[in-house]
Structure 1
Amino acid sequence: MDPLQLILIIVGVVVFGIICGVVAFFLGTNYRRKVAEAEFGSAEEEARRIMNEAIKTAEGIKKESLVEAKDEIYKMRSEAEKEVKERRSEVQRQERRINQKEESLDRKMDNLEKKDDQLQRKLKDAEKKLKEAQDIKDEQFTMLEKISGFTADQAKEHLLDILDEELTHEKAVKIQNYDMQLKDEAEQKAREMISLAIQRCAAEHVSEATVSVVPLPTDEMKGRIIGREGRNIRALETLTGVDLIIDDTPEAITLSSFDPVRREIARLALEKLIIDGRIHPARIEEMVEKSRREVELKIKQAGERAVIEAGIHGMHHELVKLLGRMRYRTSYGQNVLDHSLEVSFIAGMLAAEIGADVNLAKRAGLLHDIGKSLNHEIDGSHVEIGVDVCKKYKENQEVIHAVAAHHGDIEAKTVVACLVQAADAISAARPGARRENLENYIKRLEKLEGIANAFNGVEKCFAIQAGREIRIMVKPEIVNDDQMVLTAREIVKRIEEELEYPGQIKVHVIRENRAIEYAK
């Protein structure tokens, strides 16, 4: 509360007390005057006395109130002065702290400026020393070039050659160790399994050419087959899609076609016409159609027989027909159906040896070349066609994967696919299983030797064992022992990339050191 207000309240209380006393006095006086006029004199005196006492009392109260008000004002003033003093002290402390921080920042700025100047001087010194070092380095390089007789580029090349030789040695050692480890672990067991499977398999091998020869009873039959103005031979060639070669060969006609099914239809039709004796376009058309039905029946029977021999059940009837068509397909002179049956048997035996699914391995082996039934009619490799056909007729996914991977077009990720790959290679590599015509055979051997001769350091090479092995002699002064391993591996890669061949080719690299002296 404000001191002035407190004083006014005290004064008001005093005045109010005085007024109350005066009112009481007048009331008492009036009362006494009415009651006892006789005592009027004494009452006046009493009233004066009371009034004086009231005034004294009021003055005392007033003095006490003033004293209390002064004490309160003094106390409040003291507290205010104390608070102001404390705030002033706090402000002074803050000012001193701020001044100290400003002084500290000024000192730091001065130090930074000094350090910046020092850094600039050091940078200049460093640049100067770097330039001096570069000059010294250039002088040393010049001196080294004069001493060694090498330029900087030649020296770098020399160092790189040394490093390359060291790395070549390390790579060769690692490759040899890895090969030895693999051979130790896998070669013996693989030999046992493969040899057992081959011994247990006794498939026949049938070689067919792209021509068929039809015997004639007499040479006069050639004229009847040709017909008037060649109408009979044209009708037969048009209906069958086969070329009839009528030459000086006595009592024989040669049928030529890349499609064995067409060739077989034409052969049967021609034999029927020769037996019947009636040869004209209408009869030719009738006999061709009859022969086509017979061949289709043979195809179906061949497919069913193959499925029964392999012991496979639940195969789609269209796949069975395609299997039968492989009876009239050949690959490198090997009958495709016989090859597929052989792969099926070998894959099943290998699966039995390692505890895999025998039926699934047989199924995949039988269907692995199914694309060859259609590869003359549809664009794409026989692997792609086979995969599409198996997918179309809802074959097992593992069988489809084995078909897709049997030539290494994709990575084999299942045991069955690996078994089919191995069985296919075994069947194709069996001595006498496949044959090639002489021209392709010679070209393959020449290209095989050409690939080897293209490598640096090869002195001479020879393809032996019908192209299944190539022996390479290298120059010892160019190719060292470590580089021999890498050279053999690079030649193998080139052969795999550029050549097509059945089975496998052994690359044999030979390095010979000779010391020659003459006694005189």
Structure 2
Amino acid sequence: MDANLITAIAAVVALGIGILLGKVIFAKNTQQKIADAEAQAQKLLADAQLQAESIKKDRMLEAKEKFLQLKSEHEKEVLQRNQKVIEAESRIKQKEQGLTTKTEQLDKKIAENETIKDNLNRQIEVVNIKRSELEKHQEEHIRRLEKVAGLTAEEAKHQLVETLKEEARSQALSHIQEIIEDAKLKANKEAKKIIIQSIQRTAAEQTIENAITVFNLESDEIKGQIIGREGRNIRAIEAATGVDLIVDDTPEAIVLSSFDPLRREIARLSLQRLVQDGRIHPARIEEVVEKTKKQLEEQVMEIGERTVIELGIHGLHKELVRLVGKMRFRSSYGQNLLMHSKETANLCGIMAAELGLNPKLAKRAGLLHDIGKVPDEETELSHALLGAKLAEKYGEHAAVVNAIGAHHDEMEMAYVISPIIQACDAISGARPGARREIMQSYLQRIKDLENLAVAYDGVEKAYAIQAGRELRVIVESDKVTDNDADRLSFEIATKIQTEMQYPGQIKVTVIREKRAVNIAR
């Protein structure tokens, strides 16, 4: 064989023998490790068993101790409960003994009461016998007296009662008369004192409303612009406002004439705007007048709020506040209505305070007492009843409503402040120079003149101008024709002649205007 081959075979054989020897050695080592592990596991198991036994003994001991402790506590509780039960039983026995004793005592008292009752019954019988005997003696005595007096007992009693009544009545009447006279003297003195003090403490502000307002101009050149071509501008202003414009030789001035201060104010403010703007023509005039009316409505509300705050009145309905502001532009017998109402309110507050009444409630009633003179719509009711109706509508106190309705005796006075309002209204109106009866009748005639024309169908507005010498009636063109306008003018003039009294003559002018308006966009 080849030497290399033999060497290789020898090497392979040697390698195989080495591998076999390694496996044998590894197997021996593995068996040894398994044996060691088993021995260690046995040892750990034995230790665990010993530890478990020890823990078990400890827990058993603890459980026994806990059981003994709970048992002792339970026994203590049982002993305490038994003790309480014993004590309760003893108390119940004591109460039973007490009740038994009381029952015995009550039985004794009942027996004693029975004895007393029997004694009382016997005494009552004796008293009844004596009473009957006494009544017999009394009847006998009365019969003897009747024989002597010649009157029966009833007749004598009746005469005695009547005599006593007459004496008592006469004495009472004399006392009442003295008290009434004394009260009247004191009441008159006290009333005069309160009224004088109230008048002295109230500052009177007398404002006599005129029927004209003078509008001042910067130059006379503006008069021509206000008049317009052929007078169209001045006619437009008069038609829109119901105020008569008097343009005469007075330098730098135009006179606005109307019985209604509100209309004059609208006309004055509108003219002021037109002059400042410089554009004066019929369309612009109507636009400015409408804006001025809205502005004046806001001003009226502001005046009302300022007045209410000034008087310290709270919680007044907004509609009533507006009517209060409206009074600034109304007059009563020539006296400014708002000034009169404020003065009346202050007088009422002072008088109510002097009399120990509610001054705030009295002030409220004093301010609102003439609210019926500025209604939004004319009615047939008097201003006092209309004012009471408005106050009730807007949630005012019943005393305020009654005071407003009763200040001219058109409603029965049901509250103490009602006569105070009546007295203060009379005081404010009775001041020297406060009122002018002629002016009031003149204003009423002017209003009646306008209302007469407005009552016809198709009439849109009616204005009395020239101090009531002319009545301008503006009609709706779609309802009234030209022929109807002629007939309407004649009918109104005839009705004025038959139903109204007036000096001189009244010119009736019916104005009918047709307008076609379109907008180019």
Which TM-score band (shorter chain)? 0.3 to 0.5
TM-score (norm 1): 0.48
TM-score scaled to structure 2, two decimals? 0.48
